[in-house]
Amino acid sequence: MQWKKIDKASRVQNKGEYNDWKQQISDECYHHCVYCSIHENPWGGIDHYHIDHFRPKSKFVKLINDITNLYYACPVCNRFKSDDWPNDSNDLNVVCYPDPSDYDYSDLYEIDIKNYTLTGKYISSKYLINKLYLNRPQLVYERREFFLKIRAQTAINSLRESLNSLMTVKESAPDPGDYNALIMKAVDSILEITSFLHSRGNVIPYKLLEIRKSEK
């Protein structure tokens, strides 16, 4: 996926208050939610994303306007996180929130490419998956599309190779069997690309119940 470690050293502490720095925070966090990695575009852009106080402002008043404590988060992850702070630690092997400036979240998870769900490699990342509901259907759809795009690009590359081979074989008076096989390979690539585009268009971003945890 698109998680990226945030470069704390390059972050600039400007004058004012945290609400004034939303564009800066969006830029520094690559316009992605630091927790689930969803880009702001599917949500309608920066207006619908939140500034997250990594260490909650209700518990760390002195850090309310500290740029190194401010990150970019989608509204769902930010709502689930709220002012939760189980441990003021950055150790991956305890229940805590790993600092996105210290860790690349891509290294905290494994993705099952069959069902597109996350598994935590550490105690902390397992906690994040549960607390922030990182296997909610909305995110599963996003991961599915991410991998489908990779498959689609592979199919496009295969189609180009097949078409180039067809031109080469045609010019050299090919064996009909080889020529037909290349045509079928090109057709298969076109069908795979078409299937991807069709499936993508039919997937809704999420349903309301899918971004809410059931109370048990």
Q: What is the pTM of this model?
A: 0.76
134 pLDDT tier (thresholds 50, 70, 90) = very high
Written as six digits, the tokens of 16 are 């004012």
pLDDT in tens, 190-206: 666 666 656 555 555 55
Residues 144/182, Cβ–Cβ less than 8 Å: no
pLDDT in tens, 7-24: 999 999 999 999 999 999
Residue found under tokens 């945030």 = 6
CA–CA distance, 14 with 24 (Å, rounded to integer): 10
Helix 137-171 to helix 176-202 angle, to the nearest 10 degrees?
Answer: 160
Residue 183 pLDDT more than 90? Answer: no
137 or 49: which carries more pLDDT confidence?
49
